[in-house]
Amino acid sequence: MPLRLYPTALHARQLRPQPYVFAHCERVLTAHYTTPTMALNASSHNATGESTGPTSGPPPTVSDEVKKELLDAANTDGAGQHAPGQENEKGVEKKEKSAKELEKERKKAEKDAKFKAKKAAAADASKESAAPKERKKKGKEEEQLPEYVEETPKGEKKRLKSLDDPFTKAYIPKVVESAWYDWWEKEGYFKPEMVNGEVKEPGYFVIPIPPPNVTGKLHCGHALGTSLQDVLIRWHRMRGYTTLYVPGCDHAGIATQSVVEKMLARRENKTRHDLGRQKFIERTMEWKEEYHKHLNHTLKRMGGSFDWTREAFTMDKNLTKAVTETFVKMHEDGLIYRSNRLVNWCVQLNTALSALEVDNKDLTGRTVLSVPGYERKVEFGVLTHFKYPIEGTDETIVVATTRPETMLGDSGIAVHPKDVRYKHLVGKSAKHPFIDRLMPIVADEYVDPEFGTGAVKLTPAHDPNDFNLGKKHNLPSSTFSTTMVP
């Protein structure tokens, strides 16, 4: 049976209903009221201590005014109590938030938005990582293309394929560049264009390529140089000039000999002396052909507009003959002559090297270096002091050197002109202890009085600086042999 609660009051003036809680109990609206007096139902008028009997009479009737107030209150506040945030609906003025509160809410909203975005990104990443590995592998296999095979016959104009072809959907250098150069070369597009056997009216423009060494492969420096030269050639060709870009390579002399000798020692445990001059030259030319082809192939891959009918190698017979002819002519004109000069001697190849092929190394102190032909490392950079007796006196002069073994070639001693320690010795001579030789003592500002003892022995046939000082002071150059001359 539905619960029923009736407002009860002792007097009419006391019936002032104050809504406290409203709730729906199934089909009957139940309302609780508080009144100044104690609310009693119709059957609760028994004496205290006695049991309550059944309701003896009908409940008091509710006036239409009370019913209306109850229904209006239920419709207005369905929660049965005051709901926050409804002040404006009831005519209450809403409190405005301060700037600090608004800024706080804005930062909170931004932080919440960043957190949600980060969470969404993490969720997307986890989905991608959770994709099956087999699916990835399958995708890679689908992207791979077979090895490209050029269908254009060598020397013919390139046969272009449809853009729907798998090899032309994306840029692949090999697919785009193949076959073109062979056609250009066959058609003679890079040969000088002549008019009735004469150069064109604007003139001619020629660049012989700085020949790369045949000792190795081309690098980025060659690529840059070739590109710039080719740009100049093509620009002049477009301007109507008769142009020529001459390819070729250099035999590289000592460098090639060194590389081939190392190859012989590594592969066959032989030296050039074991082969003999003629056989060694043949082996060197065989090795040259291998790298020569690779150099030319690289130049063609870069698209250089060379006239390959004029390619040259510095040891070709015609060029060798031209070099010999030029050398003889310069000797006859007095531009080439014999003279004693210092050379850079290689103890490994037993030949002289150009100054361009020598790497100088400054030593600041004791240094142990590997020397070809020696099993153990050799010590350098240590000063050794020894005395030279002064002729006609009991005095001696102490010199300091890092190469005491060169003393056999000493022909003089130099001191600084302002060095008071040796002023009285300038003009005198020192006696060589092992060779019947007098060595003049000269003054020269080249000498550093703070280094060593301030007295420097001069070996014109060993050191470039000593050589220049020897010529300056007319000292003889005494040639000597040692077992180690770097």
CATH code of residue 195: 3.40.50.620
pLDDT in tens, 402-439: 888 889 999 999 999 999 999 999 999 999 989 889 99
CA neighbours closer than 13 Å in the CB half-sphere of residue 185: 17
pLDDT of residue 275 exceeding 50, the answer is: yes
> Are 247 and 371 in the same domain?
no
pLDDT of residue 23 exceeding 50, the answer is: no
Give the span between the Cα atoms of 163 and 156, in whole angstroms: 21
User: What are the CB-based long-range contacts (under 8 Å, 24+) for 1-5?
Assistant: 2/26, 2/27, 2/28, 3/28, 3/30, 4/28, 4/30, 4/59, 5/30, 5/31, 5/32, 5/33
**Mean pLDDT, residues 327-347 taken together:** 89
**Residue 192: inside a domain, yes or no?**
yes
**Residue 149: inside a domain, yes or no?**
no
pLDDT band at 463 (very low <50, low <70, confident <90, very high): confident
pLDDT of residue 256: 86
pLDDT of residue 152 exceeding 70, the answer is: yes
> Are 284 and 196 in the same domain?
yes
Q: How many CB atoms lie within 10 A of CB 397?
A: 21
> Are 309 and 401 in the same domain?
no
State which amino acid sits at residue 99. A
> Are 281 and 200 in the same domain?
yes
Q: Which residue has the higher pLDDT, 135 or 376?
A: 376
Q: Is residue 284 a contact partner of residue 221, using CB atoms and an 8 Å limit?
A: no
Handedness of CA 161, 166, 172, 175 (dihedral sign): negative
pLDDT band at 77 (very low <50, low <70, confident <90, very high): low
pLDDT of residue 61 exceeding 90, the answer is: no
**Residue 398: inside a domain, yes or no?**
yes
> Are 258 and 389 in the same domain?
no
pLDDT of residue 337: 87
Give the CA angle between residues 203, 209, 214 to the nearest 5°.
Answer: 160
> Are 378 and 319 in the same domain?
no
Out of 328, 354, 389, a domain closes at 328
**Residue 226: inside a domain, yes or no?**
yes
> Are 237 and 284 in the same domain?
yes
pLDDT of residue 11 exceeding 60, the answer is: no
pLDDT of residue 254 exceeding 60, the answer is: yes
Give the span between the Cα atoms of 468 and 465, in whole angstroms: 5
**Mean pLDDT, residues 204-226 taken together:** 90
pLDDT of residue 375: 86
**Mean pLDDT, residues 392-398 taken together:** 93
pLDDT of residue 447 exceeding 70, the answer is: yes
The gap from C-alpha 171 to its chain's centroid, in whole angstroms, comes to: 25
> Are 260 and 378 in the same domain?
no
Please state whether the predicted TM-score (pTM) of the whole model is above 0.75. no
> Are 215 and 287 in the same domain?
yes
**Residue 347: inside a domain, yes or no?**
no
Phi, psi of 250 (to 5 degrees): -100, 145
pLDDT of residue 278: 92
Q: Which residue has the higher pLDDT, 391 or 42?
A: 391
Out of 280, 301, 328, a domain closes at 328
What is the total count of domains within the chain? 3
**Residue 54: inside a domain, yes or no?**
no
Q: Domain of 459: which CATH number? A: 3.90.740.10
Its domain, for residue 226, covers 188-328
**Residue 266: inside a domain, yes or no?**
yes
pLDDT of residue 353: 84
pLDDT of residue 58: 63
**Residue 349: inside a domain, yes or no?**
no
Of 37-51, 151-165, 265-279, 347-361, minimum mean pLDDT range = 37-51
pLDDT of residue 53: 55
Instruction: Assign residue 164 a region (left: φ > 0; alpha: ψ between -120 and 50; beta: otherwise).
Output: alpha
Q: Is residue 421 a contact partner of residue 441, using CB atoms and an 8 Å limit?
A: no
pLDDT band at 3 (very low <50, low <70, confident <90, very high): very low
> Are 377 and 311 in the same domain?
no
> Are 387 and 319 in the same domain?
no
> Are 295 and 387 in the same domain?
no
pLDDT of residue 462 exceeding 70, the answer is: yes
pLDDT of residue 93: 54
Give the span between the Cα atoms of 199 and 216, in whole angstroms: 37
Give the span between the Cα atoms of 20 and 62, in whole angstroms: 19
